[in-house]
Amino acid sequence: MKHYFRGGIHPPENKNGTVDLPLTKADPPPFVAISFSQHIGKPATPLVKPGERVLRGQLIAEQSGYVSAAAHASISGAVKGVVQVRHPLGFLVDALKIENDGLDEWDPSVKIERDVDQLPPGEIRKIVQGAGIVGMGGATFPSHVKLSPPPGKKIDTLILNAAECEPYLTADDLLMREYPEEILMGAELFKRAVGARRAIVGIEDNKLRAVTALRDAAGRIGSNIGITVLPVQYPQGAEKQLIYALLRREVPSGGLPMDVGVLVHNVGSAFAGYQACAFGYPLTERIVTVTGPGIRNPANLWVRIGTMAGHLLDICGFDPETTKKLVVGGPMMGLSMRDLEWSVVKGTNGILALDDPAAYSHRACIRCGRCVESCPSGLLPCTLSNYGEFDKLAEAEEYNARDCIECGICSYVCPSKRPIVQWIRMEKAEINRKKQMEVK
Amino acid sequence: MPAQEKKLLFNVNNSPHIRDGDTTPRIMCLVCLALAPALVWSLFVFGWHALVPIGFSVAACVATEWLIVRWRGLPRTIDDGSAVVTGLLLAAVCPPNLPWWAAVIGGVFAIGVGKQAFGGLGFNIWNPALLGRAFMQASMPDRMMSGEWPHLGFAGEWWKNLFHCLGGSFSGIAERIGTAPDAVSRASMTRAIDGGVDVMTGATILEKMHTPTAMAVVDELGNVTYHAPGALTPGWSDVLRGWFGIEGGSLGEVSAILLVIGGVYLLRKKVIPWDIPAFYLFTAAILGWVLPQPYKIGDAHAYTAWFHGPWLAHLGAGGLMLGAFFMATDMVTGPLTQKGRIIFAVGCGIMTMVIRLFGGYPEGVCYAILLMNICVPLIDTLTKPGVFGAGLKK
């Protein structure tokens, strides 16, 4: 079967800066600020008081509702209190500041040995929930929710998203090269948790070393998980596009992957799931790619959750002169940060120091059709951009603005440098707001 | 000082944070470059005075754009280069001996009414250059007629001799070029005026092919038989003259070959899509070959047989190449999707050939594209791409 999806582009990959670098451990920072809002859903509720000593892996904030996730201490030390850090979306959120005592002492509840082969599905879900695992590709949706499909929705296939289609990022690539067995065993656990028949890893052909590592690992552990190599194309890592490329199944507009019997998890989430199930490790660290023209020593780092951005940038030789823009995530969908008052969260897969100010002044749409040709959702982005510019909400809805996946291709290809995707985001937000008001 | 302690403020804007290098001014610049060979050829063929329509039309377009945008209180747009492109394209569809004031009127109309009245770049319905041309055609038909044959006055003796040599195979044109260009020019003009029609420029071969009168042959017994006119079966020399541009006509339309070279350049630079020129030319060629050619026997109409049309002459003649590569491919006035572009191009091909063969004008490219331009909103609505996952059950 030919693996493809509709539309898409091939921006410069820019992965060379970090793809050959080893995976290194960043020294634990002098303090961490662990955000209570690291996931989609309600912020976690803090459980510890200032002055208290916490151990690494200790639960410091519990989930406050079904769609929410717990947070754990990533270092051992004294709780300083609640501080404010910047959420990737720009606003300030509460975080727990812990001062490092340098001992890195684990909480007694972790570092257990568990036989994962016999874990029942319910138990897997419970462990994943307890470990505070969220979608680690950047979307940060709580994993236990995805592992608990509502009755009536049968999942037959688990897809591990290893596309990492964003330029610059190599975090998943490194993870797969270093820990292929753990990832596959995590996939086996997730597969069992939802009762899926099979599991497939979808990976792009610019990560052939990872492909080899995964295939070797599958042989070693006797796993029948398929490793499918896909031609490089952005946005391959977009859930619906990946499902289509691998299985030729089209997720209904407004629907979820489970509507076509599929569950998609990032490889990082599968790794974290295995760590939690086998050893009781909660999610306290992750791999972050720090790169870009403003970074003298790019790196793939194991970073403790809650590490301040400034600390991380100092490790990597940050050059504030050349850096005009600081981006969290990939350059296509990542968010630009205004300062350094933020810490690494569970979804931080990369930090890019870019020199391009990208402060484009846009011109009128010349209807060249490039955005239409490459839109993976089959929209007319240029038309939607005009509706956005001239405040025509009803027309925007009629032209399916809500089906936009915000991959940013339209803005990328636009020769008039129009911020098309931003207008569509605004339309989507407005349409949703109106819908909600109608319900009330 | 560690970055941590420094208060830094970075640029904050929305994703994507990288952009493709292509820009609207670059696209316009490439179109100008692609058009250059054909325009330079026109200087060579007609002489320096062909610069008059080119210069005044571009100047009028740019000045009108600048004035109106300023008057509307909008940020300056002349640096996107689209007004220059309109000016060049307008000049390309005007005769080389157009007076300067006519070029200015055309340019002001093209930008003022054709483009800015609809809201400026991106919002115009009609191709501004063609709308300007249609306006001039309607308001000053005698000025827009192809009065001029190539006289190579600018080219010097050497080239004239070369053309004389070519004259052996290019029968007919050699004497015209070599001996009495002015007489020919006058003759062709008179013929057109006598015909009493709005003759399009550049329609010289087309003019001859447009409902010509049958030849009467009287045999020894005194029986009169009528033969289809020779113009409907043009020889290789006529066809080649059209393709190479040793031919009267609008200044940018003369050389089909150079227009194809410019068009292929644009295709390679991915400025224009391949589907519009391909389907436009294919449709025109097929119809030129299939359809019966009308001619006259006295006052009565007659038709040649099906499948005998001079399609190669039709392709190289008139404004077809300019229209297919430079006019119909105008992004603003064309459809958004490939399906739409194919419908549009096939429509242009049909309209062009129907006007050429059965309409009042010998040339139909200009009106064909203008008519298809109006259909674009409808085509866009009908060819809206299917949304991913639309209509499926959740």
Say yes or no for a CB contact (<8 Å) between A366 and B19.
no
Chain A contact set for B8 (CB, 8 A):
320, 339-340
Cα distance between residue B263 and residue B322, in whole Å: 9
Of A259, A400, A419, the CB nearest to B387: A400
Say yes or no for a CB contact (<8 Å) between A334 and B17.
yes
Say yes or no for a CB contact (<8 Å) between A252 and B393.
yes
Shortest CA gap B6–chain A (Å): 9
Task: Report the DSSP pairing between strands A59-62 and A45-46.
Answer: antiparallel
Structure tokens at A10: 């091939």
Does residue B48 form part of some domain? yes
Shortest CA gap A251–chain B (Å): 5
Say yes or no for a CB contact (<8 Å) between A413 and B20.
yes
Of B12, B17, B273, the CB nearest to A354: B17
Chain A contact set for B341 (CB, 8 A):
369
Cα distance between residue A316 and residue A301, in whole Å: 10
Cα distance between residue B131 and residue A434, in whole Å: 43
Q: What is the 3-state secondary structure (H, E, C) of A129-160?
A: HHCCCECCCCCCCEHHHHCCCCCCCCCCEEEE
Largest CA distance in chain A: 64
DSSP A253: T
Contact A312, A37 (CB under 8 A): no
Q: By C-alpha distance, which of B52, B125, B129 is closest to B86? A: B129
Contact B394, A259 (CB under 8 A): yes
What residue ranges of chain B have pLDDT lower than 50? 1, 3-5, 153-155, 165-203
Of A327, A372, A382, the CB nearest to B385: A372
Cα distance between residue B122 and residue A312, in whole Å: 46
Does residue B269 form part of some domain? yes
Say yes or no for a CB contact (<8 Å) between B24 and A416.
yes
The residues pairing with A134 across neighbouring beta strands, listed in sequence order, are A142
- Closest chain A residue to B386, measured at CA: A378
Number of domains in chain B: 2
Residue B57's contacts (CB-CB under 8 Å, 6 or more residues apart) are B87, B88, B90, B91, B94, B103, B104, B106, B107
Structure tokens at A355: 């020199």
Say yes or no for a CB contact (<8 Å) between A11 and B20.
yes
Say yes or no for a CB contact (<8 Å) between A365 and B122.
yes
Torsion angle of C-alpha atoms A372, A375, A379, A383, degrees rounded to 10: -50
Chain A contact set for B17 (CB, 8 A):
325, 327, 331-332, 334, 336, 352, 354, 356, 358
DSSP per-residue codes, B12-66 = --PSP----S--HHHHHHHHHHHHHHHHHHHHHHH-GGGHHHHHHHHHHHHHHHH
Buried b (16+ CB within 10 A) or exposed e, A85-96: bbbbeeeebbbb
- Which residue in A368, A389, A403 has the most chain B C-beta atoms within 10 A of its own C-beta, making it the best mutation to test that interface? A368
Contact A332, B18 (CB under 8 A): yes
Over residues A225-240, the mean pLDDT reads 95
- Which residue in B15, B332, B342 has the most chain A C-beta atoms within 10 A of its own C-beta, making it the best mutation to test that interface? B15
Residue type, B310: P
Chain B contact set for A417 (CB, 8 A):
19, 23
Shortest CA gap B74–chain A (Å): 11
Task: Report the DSSP pairing between strands A92-100 and A198-204.
Answer: unpaired
B217 & B288 share domain: yes
Final residue of a structural domain among B144, B177, B211: B144
B256 & B350 share domain: yes
Cα distance between residue A396 and residue A402, in whole Å: 9
Instruction: Centre a 10 Å sphere on the Cβ of residue A397 and count the other Cβ atoms it contains.
Output: 17
Provide the number of CB pairs (under 8 Å) joining chain A to chain B: 199
Buried b (16+ CB within 10 A) or exposed e, A164-203: bbbbbbbbbbbbbbbbbbbbbbbbbbbbbbbebeebbbbb
- Closest chain A residue to B339, measured at CA: A373
B268 & B351 share domain: yes
Shortest CA gap B243–chain A (Å): 30
Count CA atoms within 13 Å of residue A347 on its CB side: 26
Shortest CA gap A376–chain B (Å): 8
Say yes or no for a CB contact (<8 Å) between A338 and B12.
yes
Structure tokens at A141: 């949706």
Cα distance between residue B341 and residue B329, in whole Å: 9
Where do you find CATH 3.40.50.11540 in chain A? 118-279
Cα distance between residue B392 and residue B250, in whole Å: 54
Cα distance between residue B389 and residue A257, in whole Å: 11
Of B3, B273, B334, the CB nearest to A320: B3
Final residue of a structural domain among B114, B144, B174: B144
Q: Long-range contacts: B272-277, Cβ < 8 Å, 24+?
A: B272/B325, B272/B329, B273/A369, B273/B329, B273/B338, B273/B341, B275/B338, B275/B341, B275/B342, B275/B345, B276/B324, B276/B328, B276/B329, B276/B334, B276/B341, B276/B344, B276/B345, B277/B324, B277/B325, B277/B328, B277/B329, B277/B345
Chain B contact set for A367 (CB, 8 A):
122, 331-332, 334, 336
- Helix intervals (H) in chain B: 24-46, 51-71, 82-92, 100-112, 128-139, 141-144, 156-166, 173-178, 181-195, 204-209, 236-244, 256-268, 275-290, 311-316, 320-322, 338-358, 365-382
- Fold of the CATH domain A118-279: Rossmann fold (3.40.50)
Q: By C-alpha distance, which of B101, B183, B197, B95 is closest to B147? A: B95
Does residue B376 form part of some domain? yes
B362 & B289 share domain: yes
B140 & B45 share domain: yes
Contact B91, B103 (CB under 8 A): yes
CA–CA distances in Å: residue A222 to residues A19, A203, A226: 28, 20, 12
Cα distance between residue B304 and residue B209, in whole Å: 12
Of A255, A335, A415, the CB nearest to B15: A335
Q: For A26-77, how does the pLDDT look when each residue is reduced to its tens digit (9 = 90+)?
A: 999 999 999 999 999 999 999 999 999 999 999 999 999 899 999 999 999 9
Chain A contact set for B394 (CB, 8 A):
252, 254-255, 259
- Helix intervals (H) in A233-290: 239-247, 267-279
B131 & B33 share domain: yes
Determine the straight-line distance between the first and last CA of chain A, rounded to whole angstroms. Answer: 48
Say yes or no for a CB contact (<8 Å) between B394 and A252.
yes
Chain A contact set for B16 (CB, 8 A):
331-333, 408-409, 411-412, 421
Cα distance between residue A130 and residue A125, in whole Å: 8
Cα distance between residue A78 and residue A56, in whole Å: 11
Q: For A70-122, how does the pLDDT look when each residue is reduced to its tens digit (9 = 90+)?
A: 999 999 999 999 999 998 888 899 999 999 999 999 999 888 888 888 899 99
Chain A contact set for B31 (CB, 8 A):
none
Contact A254, A181 (CB under 8 A): no
B34 & B125 share domain: yes
B120 & B211 share domain: no
Final residue of a structural domain among B103, B124, B144: B144
B218 & B70 share domain: no
Q: By C-alpha distance, which of A190, A344, A116, A372 is closest to B384? A: A372
Does residue B338 form part of some domain? yes
Say yes or no for a CB contact (<8 Å) between A12 and B11.
no
Of B18, B120, B388, the CB nearest to A167: B18
Check the CA dihedral B353-B358-B359-B362 and report its sign.
positive
Structure tokens at A299: 């790196």
pLDDT at B296: 86
B140 & B274 share domain: no
Structure tokens at A11: 């921006």
Domain that holds residue B92: 24-144
Say yes or no for a CB contact (<8 Å) between A253 and B80.
no
- Which residue in A85, A324, A363 has the most chain B C-beta atoms within 10 A of its own C-beta, making it the best mutation to test that interface? A363
Instruction: Centre a 10 Å sphere on the Cβ of residue B391 and count the other Cβ atoms it contains.
Output: 9
Question: Sheet harboring A198-204: ordered strands across?
Answer: A226-230, A198-204, A157-162, A262-266
Does residue B208 form part of some domain? yes
Say yes or no for a CB contact (<8 Å) between A369 and B13.
no
ipTM of the modeled complex: 0.89
Q: For A160-201, how does the pLDDT look when each residue is reduced to its tens digit (9 = 90+)?
A: 999 999 999 999 999 999 999 999 999 999 999 999 999 999
B140 & B222 share domain: no
Task: Report the DSSP pairing between strands A157-162 and A45-46.
Answer: unpaired
Of B26, B75, B389, the CB nearest to A252: B389
The residues pairing with A230 across neighbouring beta strands, listed in sequence order, are A204
Say yes or no for a CB contact (<8 Å) between A326 and B18.
no
